[in-house]
Amino acid sequence: LEKVDVDFTCPVSTNWLPSANASGGTPGAANSVAGIILDEVQPLLLRSYCPDSISVVMVFNEPLDPNEALTIQHYIFSPTVNPVEAVFEDAFLQRVKLTLASVLVPGKIYTVAVSGVTDCAGNEVPDESISRFGVLDSVSADGIIINELLFNPYNDGYDFIELFHAGYNIIDLSNVKIESLDLENGLIDESEKIIEEPWLIFPGDYLVVTENPTAVASHYRSSYPFNFMEAGNLPSMNVDEGHIAISDNEKVIDALHYFEDYHFDLLEDFKGISLEKINPLFNSSNASSWHSAAGSAGFATPGLKNSQYADIMPGDKEVILSPELFSPDNDGIDDVVTIV
Protein backbone atom coordinates (compact mmCIF):
# COMPACT_ATOMS: atom_id res chain seq x y z
CA LEU A 1 0.00 0.00 0.00
CA GLU A 2 1.27 3.45 -0.90
CA LYS A 3 0.09 6.82 0.31
CA VAL A 4 -1.26 9.02 -2.48
CA ASP A 5 -0.81 12.45 -0.88
CA VAL A 6 1.83 12.63 1.88
CA ASP A 7 0.66 16.14 2.82
CA PHE A 8 -2.92 15.01 3.41
CA THR A 9 -2.85 13.86 7.02
CA CYS A 10 -6.44 12.76 7.60
CA PRO A 11 -6.83 9.00 8.24
CA VAL A 12 -8.96 8.20 5.18
CA SER A 13 -8.79 5.01 3.14
CA THR A 14 -8.96 6.93 -0.16
CA ASN A 15 -5.42 8.22 0.50
CA TRP A 16 -4.01 4.70 0.15
CA LEU A 17 -3.76 2.56 -2.99
CA PRO A 18 -1.98 -0.64 -4.01
CA SER A 19 1.39 0.11 -5.57
CA ALA A 20 1.29 0.48 -9.34
CA ASN A 21 4.99 -0.36 -9.66
CA ALA A 22 5.77 -3.56 -11.57
CA SER A 23 7.86 -4.87 -8.67
CA GLY A 24 4.93 -4.43 -6.27
CA GLY A 25 6.38 -1.56 -4.19
CA THR A 26 8.67 1.47 -4.14
CA PRO A 27 10.76 1.29 -0.94
CA GLY A 28 13.17 4.23 -0.75
CA ALA A 29 11.65 5.92 -3.82
CA ALA A 30 8.70 8.15 -4.65
CA ASN A 31 5.37 6.34 -4.45
CA SER A 32 4.08 5.14 -7.80
CA VAL A 33 0.53 6.34 -6.98
CA ALA A 34 1.64 9.78 -5.73
CA GLY A 35 -0.86 12.55 -6.34
CA ILE A 36 -2.97 15.19 -4.64
CA ILE A 37 -6.11 14.49 -2.64
CA LEU A 38 -8.73 17.14 -3.40
CA ASP A 39 -11.58 17.36 -0.91
CA GLU A 40 -14.29 19.92 -1.61
CA VAL A 41 -17.12 18.06 0.10
CA GLN A 42 -18.61 19.43 3.32
CA PRO A 43 -18.59 17.16 6.37
CA LEU A 44 -22.08 16.16 7.53
CA LEU A 45 -23.46 15.51 11.00
CA LEU A 46 -25.36 12.24 10.49
CA ARG A 47 -26.75 11.50 13.95
CA SER A 48 -26.14 11.63 17.70
CA TYR A 49 -26.62 9.29 20.65
CA CYS A 50 -26.07 9.18 24.41
CA PRO A 51 -23.72 6.51 25.79
CA ASP A 52 -24.81 7.62 29.28
CA SER A 53 -26.83 10.38 30.96
CA ILE A 54 -24.06 13.03 30.97
CA SER A 55 -22.58 12.79 27.48
CA VAL A 56 -23.51 12.85 23.80
CA VAL A 57 -21.64 11.42 20.81
CA MET A 58 -22.03 13.11 17.41
CA VAL A 59 -21.36 10.95 14.34
CA PHE A 60 -19.96 12.66 11.22
CA ASN A 61 -19.48 11.17 7.77
CA GLU A 62 -15.74 11.94 7.46
CA PRO A 63 -12.67 12.77 9.58
CA LEU A 64 -12.61 16.21 11.20
CA ASP A 65 -9.96 18.77 11.98
CA PRO A 66 -9.22 18.25 15.71
CA ASN A 67 -8.62 21.96 16.34
CA GLU A 68 -12.17 22.83 15.32
CA ALA A 69 -14.01 19.63 16.23
CA LEU A 70 -12.83 19.69 19.85
CA THR A 71 -13.75 23.35 20.44
CA ILE A 72 -16.88 23.18 22.63
CA GLN A 73 -18.04 26.64 21.56
CA HIS A 74 -18.93 25.15 18.18
CA TYR A 75 -21.82 23.20 19.73
CA ILE A 76 -25.07 24.88 20.81
CA PHE A 77 -27.68 22.85 22.69
CA SER A 78 -31.45 23.22 23.05
CA PRO A 79 -32.72 22.99 25.75
CA THR A 80 -29.51 24.52 27.09
CA VAL A 81 -26.90 22.16 28.48
CA ASN A 82 -23.27 23.09 28.95
CA PRO A 83 -20.47 20.91 27.53
CA VAL A 84 -17.30 20.81 29.60
CA GLU A 85 -15.05 18.54 27.52
CA ALA A 86 -14.76 17.35 23.92
CA VAL A 87 -12.80 14.29 22.80
CA PHE A 88 -12.78 11.96 19.81
CA GLU A 89 -14.56 8.70 20.46
CA ASP A 90 -12.83 6.87 17.60
CA ALA A 91 -9.46 6.68 15.84
CA PHE A 92 -10.95 7.90 12.54
CA LEU A 93 -11.82 11.37 13.92
CA GLN A 94 -15.48 11.00 12.94
CA ARG A 95 -17.13 10.80 16.37
CA VAL A 96 -16.99 13.68 18.82
CA LYS A 97 -17.97 12.96 22.42
CA LEU A 98 -19.05 15.89 24.57
CA THR A 99 -19.23 15.51 28.35
CA LEU A 100 -21.97 17.67 29.82
CA ALA A 101 -22.10 19.65 33.06
CA SER A 102 -25.55 18.35 34.01
CA VAL A 103 -27.52 15.12 33.76
CA LEU A 104 -29.92 14.76 30.83
CA VAL A 105 -33.62 14.25 31.58
CA PRO A 106 -34.78 10.76 30.46
CA GLY A 107 -37.28 10.83 27.60
CA LYS A 108 -36.59 14.46 26.76
CA ILE A 109 -35.51 15.27 23.20
CA TYR A 110 -32.52 17.61 22.92
CA THR A 111 -30.91 19.11 19.83
CA VAL A 112 -27.34 20.10 19.11
CA ALA A 113 -26.49 22.63 16.39
CA VAL A 114 -22.97 22.53 14.96
CA SER A 115 -21.12 25.43 13.30
CA GLY A 116 -17.48 26.18 12.58
CA VAL A 117 -16.43 22.51 12.57
CA THR A 118 -14.31 21.57 9.54
CA ASP A 119 -12.79 18.50 7.95
CA CYS A 120 -9.05 18.13 7.35
CA ALA A 121 -9.28 20.06 4.06
CA GLY A 122 -10.99 23.02 5.73
CA ASN A 123 -14.52 22.37 4.44
CA GLU A 124 -17.05 23.51 7.03
CA VAL A 125 -20.22 21.74 8.11
CA PRO A 126 -23.41 23.29 6.64
CA ASP A 127 -25.00 26.00 8.76
CA GLU A 128 -28.17 23.94 9.23
CA SER A 129 -26.36 20.97 10.83
CA ILE A 130 -28.66 19.95 13.68
CA SER A 131 -29.09 16.57 15.33
CA ARG A 132 -31.42 15.22 18.00
CA PHE A 133 -30.43 13.08 20.97
CA GLY A 134 -31.74 12.00 24.35
CA VAL A 135 -31.68 9.41 27.10
CA LEU A 136 -34.23 6.59 26.86
CA ASP A 137 -37.10 6.44 29.33
CA SER A 138 -38.08 2.97 28.09
CA VAL A 139 -36.16 0.05 26.60
CA SER A 140 -39.15 -1.02 24.49
CA ALA A 141 -39.08 -0.53 20.72
CA ASP A 142 -42.89 -0.55 20.40
CA GLY A 143 -43.94 1.83 17.67
CA ILE A 144 -41.38 0.72 15.07
CA ILE A 145 -43.17 -0.57 11.97
CA ILE A 146 -42.26 -1.86 8.50
CA ASN A 147 -43.09 0.95 6.08
CA GLU A 148 -41.45 0.02 2.77
CA LEU A 149 -39.84 -3.08 1.36
CA LEU A 150 -37.67 -3.86 -1.67
CA PHE A 151 -37.26 -7.62 -2.16
CA ASN A 152 -36.63 -7.71 -5.94
CA PRO A 153 -33.81 -5.21 -6.52
CA TYR A 154 -32.10 -4.32 -9.79
CA ASN A 155 -29.28 -6.66 -10.79
CA ASP A 156 -26.70 -4.29 -9.29
CA GLY A 157 -29.02 -3.21 -6.47
CA TYR A 158 -29.71 -4.38 -2.92
CA ASP A 159 -32.74 -5.27 -0.83
CA PHE A 160 -33.85 -2.77 1.76
CA ILE A 161 -36.36 -2.54 4.58
CA GLU A 162 -37.57 0.89 5.63
CA LEU A 163 -38.68 1.32 9.23
CA PHE A 164 -40.92 4.10 10.53
CA HIS A 165 -41.28 5.30 14.12
CA ALA A 166 -45.03 5.58 14.68
CA GLY A 167 -44.72 5.79 18.49
CA TYR A 168 -43.96 8.51 20.99
CA ASN A 169 -40.70 7.64 22.75
CA ILE A 170 -37.01 7.83 21.90
CA ILE A 171 -36.02 4.32 20.77
CA ASP A 172 -32.58 2.73 20.60
CA LEU A 173 -32.39 0.24 17.73
CA SER A 174 -29.36 -1.65 19.06
CA ASN A 175 -31.64 -4.39 20.44
CA VAL A 176 -33.86 -4.65 17.36
CA LYS A 177 -33.63 -7.66 15.04
CA ILE A 178 -34.96 -8.23 11.54
CA GLU A 179 -36.06 -11.82 11.03
CA SER A 180 -37.29 -14.02 8.22
CA LEU A 181 -39.93 -16.55 9.20
CA ASP A 182 -40.65 -20.01 7.81
CA LEU A 183 -43.58 -19.81 5.41
CA GLU A 184 -45.08 -23.06 6.71
CA ASN A 185 -44.89 -22.76 10.49
CA GLY A 186 -44.01 -19.12 11.16
CA LEU A 187 -40.88 -20.05 13.12
CA ILE A 188 -37.68 -18.01 12.78
CA ASP A 189 -35.44 -19.00 9.87
CA GLU A 190 -32.93 -16.15 10.08
CA SER A 191 -32.46 -13.45 12.68
CA GLU A 192 -30.07 -10.51 12.31
CA LYS A 193 -29.37 -7.78 14.83
CA ILE A 194 -29.33 -4.63 12.72
CA ILE A 195 -26.73 -2.66 14.72
CA GLU A 196 -24.49 -3.29 17.73
CA GLU A 197 -23.93 0.31 18.83
CA PRO A 198 -26.59 2.79 20.01
CA TRP A 199 -28.71 4.19 17.19
CA LEU A 200 -31.55 6.50 18.22
CA ILE A 201 -34.75 6.94 16.24
CA PHE A 202 -37.37 9.55 17.09
CA PRO A 203 -41.15 9.81 16.51
CA GLY A 204 -41.88 10.38 12.83
CA ASP A 205 -38.43 9.21 11.67
CA TYR A 206 -37.70 6.90 8.74
CA LEU A 207 -34.75 4.52 8.67
CA VAL A 208 -33.55 2.50 5.67
CA VAL A 209 -31.79 -0.74 6.61
CA THR A 210 -29.71 -2.27 3.81
CA GLU A 211 -26.41 -4.01 3.22
CA ASN A 212 -25.30 -1.33 0.74
CA PRO A 213 -26.67 2.21 1.31
CA THR A 214 -24.73 3.81 -1.54
CA ALA A 215 -26.04 1.26 -4.05
CA VAL A 216 -29.64 1.83 -2.94
CA ALA A 217 -29.19 5.62 -3.06
CA SER A 218 -27.72 5.41 -6.56
CA HIS A 219 -31.01 4.06 -7.94
CA TYR A 220 -33.59 6.21 -6.15
CA ARG A 221 -34.32 9.65 -4.78
CA SER A 222 -33.73 9.28 -1.09
CA SER A 223 -32.66 10.91 2.18
CA TYR A 224 -29.14 9.47 1.84
CA PRO A 225 -26.79 9.76 3.69
CA PHE A 226 -29.23 10.64 6.45
CA ASN A 227 -31.52 7.95 7.88
CA PHE A 228 -29.59 5.11 6.24
CA MET A 229 -28.15 2.23 8.26
CA GLU A 230 -25.64 -0.23 6.80
CA ALA A 231 -26.49 -3.70 8.08
CA GLY A 232 -23.87 -6.42 8.05
CA ASN A 233 -26.50 -8.92 6.93
CA LEU A 234 -30.18 -8.81 6.13
CA PRO A 235 -32.29 -11.97 6.17
CA SER A 236 -32.85 -13.24 2.64
CA MET A 237 -36.09 -12.11 1.03
CA ASN A 238 -37.48 -14.22 -1.81
CA VAL A 239 -38.85 -12.55 -4.91
CA ASP A 240 -42.17 -14.40 -5.02
CA GLU A 241 -43.08 -14.61 -1.33
CA GLY A 242 -41.56 -14.01 2.07
CA HIS A 243 -42.34 -13.49 5.73
CA ILE A 244 -40.31 -10.93 7.69
CA ALA A 245 -40.63 -9.56 11.19
CA ILE A 246 -39.09 -6.98 13.50
CA SER A 247 -38.45 -8.06 17.06
CA ASP A 248 -37.19 -6.43 20.23
CA ASN A 249 -35.85 -8.69 22.99
CA GLU A 250 -37.61 -11.68 21.36
CA LYS A 251 -40.95 -9.80 21.17
CA VAL A 252 -42.37 -9.36 17.66
CA ILE A 253 -43.13 -5.67 17.05
CA ASP A 254 -44.35 -5.87 13.46
CA ALA A 255 -44.51 -8.55 10.75
CA LEU A 256 -45.34 -8.81 7.08
CA HIS A 257 -46.10 -11.91 5.00
CA TYR A 258 -45.66 -10.44 1.53
CA PHE A 259 -46.40 -11.82 -1.93
CA GLU A 260 -45.21 -10.60 -5.31
CA ASP A 261 -48.83 -10.14 -6.36
CA TYR A 262 -49.18 -7.37 -3.76
CA HIS A 263 -47.72 -5.26 -6.58
CA PHE A 264 -49.88 -3.23 -8.94
CA ASP A 265 -51.38 -5.67 -11.47
CA LEU A 266 -50.73 -3.62 -14.59
CA LEU A 267 -46.97 -3.41 -14.06
CA GLU A 268 -45.09 -5.50 -16.61
CA ASP A 269 -41.99 -6.01 -14.44
CA PHE A 270 -41.58 -5.75 -10.67
CA LYS A 271 -37.77 -5.59 -10.58
CA GLY A 272 -36.48 -2.56 -8.68
CA ILE A 273 -39.97 -1.58 -7.46
CA SER A 274 -40.67 -1.39 -3.75
CA LEU A 275 -43.86 -2.07 -1.84
CA GLU A 276 -44.99 0.95 0.16
CA LYS A 277 -47.44 1.05 3.03
CA ILE A 278 -50.29 3.40 2.18
CA ASN A 279 -50.39 4.69 5.75
CA PRO A 280 -47.90 3.75 8.51
CA LEU A 281 -50.78 3.12 10.92
CA PHE A 282 -52.39 0.48 8.67
CA ASN A 283 -52.00 -3.18 9.63
CA SER A 284 -48.89 -4.62 7.97
CA SER A 285 -50.58 -8.02 7.65
CA ASN A 286 -53.29 -6.77 5.27
CA ALA A 287 -52.59 -6.88 1.55
CA SER A 288 -54.71 -3.74 1.11
CA SER A 289 -52.20 -1.80 3.22
CA TRP A 290 -49.57 -2.05 0.47
CA HIS A 291 -49.08 -0.72 -3.03
CA SER A 292 -46.26 -0.49 -5.54
CA ALA A 293 -44.24 2.71 -5.30
CA ALA A 294 -45.18 5.23 -7.97
CA GLY A 295 -43.26 5.43 -11.22
CA SER A 296 -43.22 9.23 -10.94
CA ALA A 297 -41.26 8.85 -7.68
CA GLY A 298 -38.70 6.49 -9.21
CA PHE A 299 -40.40 3.27 -8.00
CA ALA A 300 -39.07 3.56 -4.42
CA THR A 301 -38.72 6.26 -1.76
CA PRO A 302 -36.08 5.06 0.72
CA GLY A 303 -35.91 7.37 3.72
CA LEU A 304 -38.69 9.62 2.38
CA LYS A 305 -42.47 9.84 2.75
CA ASN A 306 -44.08 7.10 0.69
CA SER A 307 -45.25 8.08 -2.78
CA GLN A 308 -48.54 6.23 -2.21
CA TYR A 309 -49.17 7.76 1.23
CA ALA A 310 -52.80 8.52 2.05
CA ASP A 311 -53.82 10.52 5.11
CA ILE A 312 -57.05 8.87 6.19
CA MET A 313 -59.35 10.45 8.76
CA PRO A 314 -62.17 8.03 9.73
CA GLY A 315 -65.69 9.50 9.57
CA ASP A 316 -68.40 9.17 12.22
CA LYS A 317 -71.46 7.68 10.49
CA GLU A 318 -70.83 7.83 6.78
CA VAL A 319 -68.83 6.00 4.17
CA ILE A 320 -66.00 8.15 2.82
CA LEU A 321 -64.05 7.65 -0.39
CA SER A 322 -60.62 9.22 -0.35
CA PRO A 323 -60.02 10.53 -2.97
CA GLU A 324 -63.45 10.67 -4.59
CA LEU A 325 -61.86 10.36 -8.04
CA PHE A 326 -58.94 7.99 -8.48
CA SER A 327 -56.79 6.80 -11.38
CA PRO A 328 -54.97 3.50 -10.81
CA ASP A 329 -52.12 4.00 -13.27
CA ASN A 330 -49.26 3.97 -10.70
CA ASP A 331 -48.17 7.53 -11.49
CA GLY A 332 -48.26 8.47 -7.81
CA ILE A 333 -51.38 10.68 -8.21
CA ASP A 334 -54.57 9.25 -6.70
CA ASP A 335 -53.59 5.65 -7.50
CA VAL A 336 -55.28 4.23 -4.41
CA VAL A 337 -58.81 4.80 -3.13
CA THR A 338 -59.53 4.17 0.55
CA ILE A 339 -63.02 3.46 1.84
CA VAL A 340 -63.64 4.41 5.47
From the number of C-beta atoms within 10 Å of its C-beta (0-12, 13-18, 19+), residue 175 rates as middle
DSSP H or E stretch at residue 200: strand 200-201
Please give the pLDDT value at position 317: 61
Q: What is the pLDDT of residue 337?
A: 80
Burial (CB count <10 Å: 0-12, 13-18, 19+), residue 264: buried
Amino acid identity at 144: I
pLDDT for 329 equals 80
290, β-bridge pairs = 277
Residues of the chain with pLDDT under 70: 313-318
User: What SS3 string covers 72-126?
Assistant: HHHEEEECCCCEEEEEECCCCCCEEEEEECCCCCECCCEEEEECCCEECCCCECC
Sequence-distant (6+) residues with CB within 8 A of 211 are 158, 159, 230, 231, 232, 233, 234
Question: Dihedral of CA 322/285/161/263: which sign?
Answer: negative
Q: What is the DSSP letter of 36?
A: -
Q: How far apart are the first and last CA of the chain?
A: 64
**So what's the pLDDT on residue 311?**
81
Taking the model in full, what pTM does it have?
Answer: 0.86
Residues 6+ apart with CB under 8 A from 96: 57, 58, 60, 64, 69, 70, 86, 87, 88, 89
Rounded Cα distance, 301 and 295, in Å: 11
CB 95, CB 58: distance < 8 Å: yes
The whole-number pLDDT of residue 18 equals 95
Contact yes or no for 296/333 (Cβ under 8 A): yes
How do residues 296-333 score in pLDDT, each as one tens digit? 999 999 999 999 998 875 545 667 778 878 888 888 88
Amino acid identity, position 206 = Y
